[in-house]
Structures are given as structure tokens and as C-alpha cells.
Amino acid sequence: MTQSEYPQGLSDTHEATILSSTRYTPETTDEVRQIVLTLNEPSFYYLEGQTIGVLVPGPHPFGNAFHHRYYTLAHVRQTEQGVELELLVRRCFYIDEVSGEEYPGIASNYLCNAQTGDRISLTGPHASPFWIPADKEYNLLMLGTGTGIAPFRAFLRRIYQEQKDWKGKVRLYYGAKTGTDMLYMNDVNNDLSLYYDQETFQAIQAVGKSLLGDEGDALKGGVADHAADIWKLIQEPKTHVYLAGMKKIATALDEVMVQTAGSSELWLQTKERLIQERRWSELTYQ
């Protein structure tokens, strides 16, 4: 594939090699893999929360020559040869509304099937609505589900391992169907426990209460249980709100906050102020 063959606007491309691919969730639940790629480009520069694009070579359905999807950089590590990029990828499937048949998502299955040594074409890194405030007194209110944990883990690593002395409150509300679906907070990988001893950090794990519900419903339950704390934090002038993961979590937060604020008008005014002041970031998908 040559540069000129890439889709318009995606000319900033890189060739990466799969270094490892590890399943992060047990066989009994949805498959999420940690995929590490190496890039022989020492100057590759990224900021926490940014995404890279994965270009899957065609041919694809509907005559598409390329299939391009975004993945959040969970971590980037400089090495002597270049950089290692870490992604967290959920293997996706979808049901065709007409035939009722199940189809594998193209990019997620391409990545989850890739073997060590395989070459992958990447684009980016792409600009992100997520960034860490320069002021260390900022409260970071993070709400997420599924692979939406990736930017939050990158944030936590940055503020506690590299910058250290973060002074604002850091609250992570994370919704999952079951305890084993808690990425970076389960028996396979408990990476986030590294930060449990930080005075300013608190992780609130919201596990689904109903078999029929999904991780978005679980998060809504966790938000409802701590609604007064969240509302209080949101009203502080130095609070930044981040939402990552399923699209429906934004609506779930709205619904709970309308109740807590006492009126939809007050909630919408509050939210609008945060958006205007660039203290509200969303990175939702699926």
C-alpha cells in the first residue's frame, strides 16, 4: 500500500508491527485484548487521550477500498528503536437488520486476529477532545465503560507516575456487566490498583445489577448511587468532566443529574457552562 493510495485526509501514516496480543477478559465474557505495536519512529509524539487510526486493507463490502477505525492510545512507551503503542480493543460483532445474521466488525476482528510480527497500517495520532489540565489543582471526573477506560488509564499513569503531586480530586466511575469485565481492575490485570493508595484518587466500580443490562446501565446505577457527590464536584470551578465508552452514558448522566439538580434547566445550564469553559470532554462510540 503506498501513501497516495490511502483515503483522503489520512496521509499521515505509519507502518507498525504487532509485538504482542493478550486477552484481557476471561473466555466467559466479551473479548477485549491488549495489543502492543512497535513503531520504528523515535519522533512519534502523542498526548494522553489521543487516538490512532487503523487502516484495514480491502477489498471491503460496498466496494470500499479501505476500512478505517479509531483506537485510543492506552499507553505509549519510548524505546531505543522507536515507540511501543498499547491499545485496548474489543472484538465487535453486529447483526444485519435485514438478514438477522451476525457479522464480525472489520477493524476490531482484524486487530484481534493479528499475530505477533504482523504489519499494520496506522494513521495519526489524531487530535482528541481529551487532555489533562495544566493546573494540578483541577478535579478530574472520569466516567466510562468498556475500552473507554484506555484514556483514563493513560491519564492516571501520567499524573501519578510521571507528574506526581496531583492535588485535585480524581474520581473514576466505571461501569461493567460483571466484575471480570472491569478492565484493568480484574483478576487478569489489576493495573489501576497501583493508584489506590493515592490520597486524591478514588475508583468507583459499578457492576451491573441485572442480567439483561449492559455496562451503560451499570454505570448509570453507580452514578445514581453517588449522584450528590458527582453534582457537588461538577459545580466546583476547577472540575473537568470526561466521558468515554458507550454513547448512551452521556444520556444516562443527563438523566441522573436532572433529578439531582432538581430541574433539567439547571442541569443543562451547568453542563453548558462546562462546555463553554472547555471543561467537558466526550469520546463515546458504539
**How far are the Cα atoms of 48, 62, 231, 281 from residue 243, in angstroms, in the given order?**
15, 33, 15, 6
* Closest CB 7 distance from ligand FAD, rounded Å: 14
* C-beta closer to ligand FAD: residue 69 or 169: 69
**Alpha carbons 46 and 78: distance in angstroms, whole number:** 11
CB 37, min distance to ligand FAD, A: 13
Nearer to ligand FAD, 53 or 168 (CB): 53
Give the distance from CA 111 to its chain's centroid.
Answer: 16
Q: Which of residues 57-96 bind ligand FAD (CB under 6 A)?
A: 62, 67, 69-72, 88-90, 92, 94
Binding mask 140-179 vs ligand FAD (x if CB under 6 A, - otherwise)? -------x--x-----------------------------
**Residue 249: in which H helix or E strand, if any?**
helix 248-261
Per-position DSSP letters for 76-124, written without gaps between them: EEE-SSSEEEEEEEE--EEE-TTT--EEE-HHHHHHHH--TT-EEEEEE
d(CA 136, CA 266): 28
CA 216 to chain centre: 14
Fill in the per-residue mask, 95 to 134: x = in contact with ligand FAD (CB under 6 A), - = not in contact.
----------xxxxx-------------------------
Nearer to ligand FAD by Cβ, of 72 and 145: the residue is: 72
Asked if the peptide bond before residue 125 counts as cis, ω within 30 degrees of 0, the response is yes
Task: Look up residue 246 and give its DSSP letter.
Answer: E
Which residue among 22, 193, 238, 285 contacts ligand FAD (CB under 6 A)? 285
Helix H or strand E segment including 156: helix 149-156
State in angstroms the smallest separation of the CB of 224 from ligand FAD.
Answer: 26
**Does 184 interact with ligand FAD (rule: CB under 6 A)?**
no
Q: Select the residue interacting with ligand FAD from 21, 25, 34, 51 (CB under 6 A).
A: 51
Residues near ligand FAD, by CB under 6 A: 51, 62, 67, 69-72, 88-90, 92, 94, 105-109, 147, 150, 283, 285
